[in-house]
Amino acid sequence: MDSLTQLTFGAACGEAILGRKLGKKALYWGAAVGTLPDLDILIPLGGPVNNFVYHRGFSHSMIVLTLLTPLMAWLIVKIHPATKTYYRQWVMLCFVVFQASVILDLMTIYGTQIFWPVDKTPMAIPVLFIIDPAFTLPVFSGVLAALLFKRNRLLGHRLNTIGLCLSLAYLAWAFTAAGVVERKVTEKLARQQISHSQLVCSPAPFTTLLWRVVGIDNDQYFETYYSVFDRETPLFVDFYPRQLNLLNGIETHPPVVKLKHFTRGYYSLSAKDGYVAMTDLRMGSEPDYVFRFKVGRLTDGRSEPVDDEIIRTNQDIKNLAWIWARIWTPLPRS
């Protein structure tokens, strides 16, 4: 999830666990602990592809963060010695916030190595978009209430709890919607006789009312959208080539190997200006994908390895208007 969500959710958990006993200290430390795992983005990991695939690695490991929990609680007590008698509660706060931070990231499509270093497989349960106001606003409002109601701390604490509960209720809705969408999409694809070896459904930007679907079928992939308000209208499916032939000559190139593993097969290749680019099909939409990397050079029709380089893509804001319209009405992209 985005940094604001991680910060406010951590703050809300801190307030819920220790706010009534220790006041704003609990809220502030909850915010700090919730933000800590995502600071790995500031660490250079050896190149654009490495920075991409190793983000949400060791810093998002439930194993590592569990081991770090008592140390973090010890540090807090060192800074606030008057709270030494609450060490166990600090441990609980740090544990809950650390694990919640990982779980929230797990709920997005990116991929999180939650069992690093035992298992370095990036895992995802994509039920939330990385920024979702409907999830963030209730918990943000609760934290704001806890900060502003100075004369009535109990009211602020209760409003924080309500905000936290509303966000968790929305998460439960997102899980329910994800299950329904996957079942409906699978049924419609079968009726339309569209085959696929892999299929992933994830929320469209800023909502869980509309879902983006990507399917892989050998050397092609397709993209379609499904709204929770769709009825029996057939899916509007767009097909695109993956151009896997461009892998010839760079199959063992480390950036290519890492991207194939990290994307779990949801990738395509393209050639432009004499270079070969590899695209993660899970994030963004056709043709404006968020993560696209230069991984090869075309020489006499064959790909040769080059140093990896991220290719910046400008996201078309007009897509948001289409997304809003598509929620309520079945219509094609073009």
Q: What is the DSSP string of 182-205?
A: HHHHHHHHHHTT---SEEEEEEPT
Give the dihedral of Cα atoms 264, 40, 292, 7; nearest 10 deg. 90
Residue of 212, 190, 194, 195 whose CA lies nearest to 203: 212
Residue of 173, 177, 199 whose CA lies nearest to 188: 199
Angle, CA of 214, 41 and 58, to the nearest 5°: 85
Place of tokens 């993660």: 280
Cβ neighbours of residue 128 under 8 Å, at least 6 residues apart?
1, 104, 107, 108, 135, 171, 174, 203, 208
- φ and ψ at residue 321, rounded to 5 degrees: -65, -40
Burial 190-211 (b: 16+ CB within 10 A, else e): eeeebebeebbbbbbbbbbbbb
Local confidence pLDDT in tens for the 334 residues of the chain: 899 999 999 999 999 999 999 999 999 999 999 999 999 988 988 899 999 999 999 999 999 999 999 999 999 999 999 999 999 999 999 999 999 999 999 999 999 999 999 999 999 999 999 999 999 999 999 999 999 987 677 899 999 999 999 999 999 999 999 999 999 999 999 999 999 999 999 999 999 999 999 999 999 999 999 999 998 899 999 999 999 999 999 999 999 999 999 999 999 999 988 999 999 999 999 888 999 999 999 998 889 999 999 998 877 777 889 999 999 999 998 6
Give me the residue spans of the domains in the chain. 3-115+133-174, 192-310
Residue of 300, 310, 311 whose CA lies nearest to 274: 300
Q: What letter represents residue 134's amino acid?
A: A
pLDDT value at residue 151? 65
pLDDT value at residue 231? 87
